[in-house]
Amino acid sequence: MGAVLILAFESSCDETSAAVVRDGAILSNVVSSQTALHAEYGGVVPELAAREHLLNLIPVVRKSVADAGTSADRIDAVAATRGPGLPSALMVGLKAGQALAFFLRRPFIGIHHHEAHLYSPWIGPSAGKKAASDSRATDDPRGSLRTTSPTFSEFEPNVSLIVSGGHTMLVHVESVLRHRVLGSTLDDAAGECFDKAGKLLGLPYPAGPIIDAMAQSGNPKAYDFPRPMMNDAGDDFSFSGLKTSVRYFLRDHPELAEDEWKVRDLCASVQSAIVDVLVTKTVRAAKRLRVNWVTASGGVTCNRELRERLAGACAQNRLKLRLAEKSLCTDNAGMIGILAEKKLSLGCEPTGLDEDIEPGWELG
């Protein structure tokens, strides 16, 4: 299969996104976030998320096609997230993608959301920017457009940390599309722990980025929170005990949540506990499996301390590190399109137009 232009949809949680990709490069990647809407409820409300996707999808798709300098009739294949995620939210993107593929008579491919995160660190930062400007310069996205495509071209076997609001897992990636889950969280995800600890501290949803910012001026050693399962032999995680310990600590010291500087220390201390676990377990798995590379992706990978500490620990252990670009850490259709293109180019079968969503899809 030669170079194809792919239109991708992502609607598994609270971001409505559409992207156009070609030749391993993201030509456009439009994300409409519903964060403000759900903040009022302290978390994502599935029914509201689905309704917002319905409202936002067409404008988002229009913009992504326009930003890529192309038109819908030039699309060669359509992709959408099929799972895992919120059922009603997934349905919007998947069914819209399948309907468009049916109408355009193009192949459709359903993508595993975590698998797309898994390969997102290999999407080169220069690819999207160069391609986007190139695509505006030419009016022929199928013919004359030539872009550099670092995506996958620098791929190396690795141990990958996928860490977000809904999932925390370590995966051994032996080659492109050949991977094995080493471990995942037994209860809360790391992002959920950030968000729930933040809620206890009176911070708005999602608290992860706010804790990140407040921790900058806090003392990470001020309070000693547990590092659950950090020294266990296995690769699984557990964060609910850490959240509970923050709850009990604040129950016994309610005055701390009233003092902004103490809150900063609490943010730094909680963040440090989460990051310690993530970094220790990732590096240990990489060394045990004798890979040279570590990668990380998912919303929590935006966290400054996690990025810095992973870089430090990898350097100390002579491991190379590839972090997903920040704009590709949180949910976006660009990563869905890139994986769809790779799958089609490797001969994976398109997904039937009558295939359903897979809300609980495990990463194989």
What single-letter amino acid sits at 267?
Answer: C
User: Least distance (Å) from ligand KG4 to the CB of residue 329?
Assistant: 7
Q: Which stretch binds ligand KG4 (CB under 6 A): 22-30, 52-60, 227-235, 298-306?
A: 298-306
The entry of Zn ion, ligand KG4, none near residue 303 (CB within 5 to 8 angstroms by kind) is: ligand KG4
Q: Which is nearer to ligand KG4, 275 or 340 (CB)?
A: 275
**52 near ligand KG4, judged by CB under 6 A:** no
**191 near ligand KG4, judged by CB under 6 A:** yes
Whole-Å CA distances, 349 to 42, 103, 251, 272, 343: 40, 19, 54, 44, 8
User: Least distance (Å) from Zn ion to the CB of residue 320?
Assistant: 24
User: Least distance (Å) from Zn ion to the CB of residue 342?
Assistant: 18
**DSSP character for 256?**
G
User: Least distance (Å) from ligand KG4 to the CB of residue 297?
Assistant: 8
**166 near ligand KG4, judged by CB under 6 A:** yes
Q: Are the CB atoms for 96 and 9 separated by under 8 Å?
A: yes
Whole-Å CA distances, 178 to 108, 338, 344, 363, 364: 22, 16, 15, 11, 9
**350 near ligand KG4, judged by CB under 6 A:** no
- Interaction residues for ligand KG4, span 202-221 (CB under 6 A): 206, 208-209, 212
- How far apart, in whole angstroms, are the C-alpha atoms of residue 201 and residue 187? 21
**124 near ligand KG4, judged by CB under 6 A:** no
Whole-Å CA distances, 111 to 12, 50, 102, 114: 11, 19, 17, 9
- How far apart, in whole angstroms, are the C-alpha atoms of residue 363 and residue 50? 24
Phi, psi of 231, rounded to the nearest 5 degrees: -105, 10
Q: Which is nearer to ligand KG4, 5 or 215 (CB)?
A: 215
User: Least distance (Å) from ligand KG4 to the CB of residue 115?
Assistant: 13
Nearest to 115 by CA among 160, 147, 76, 155: 160
Q: Which is nearer to ligand KG4, 347 or 360 (CB)?
A: 360
Contact positions vs ligand KG4 (CB under 6 A):
13, 164-166, 191, 194-195, 206, 208-209, 212, 298-300, 302-303, 330-331
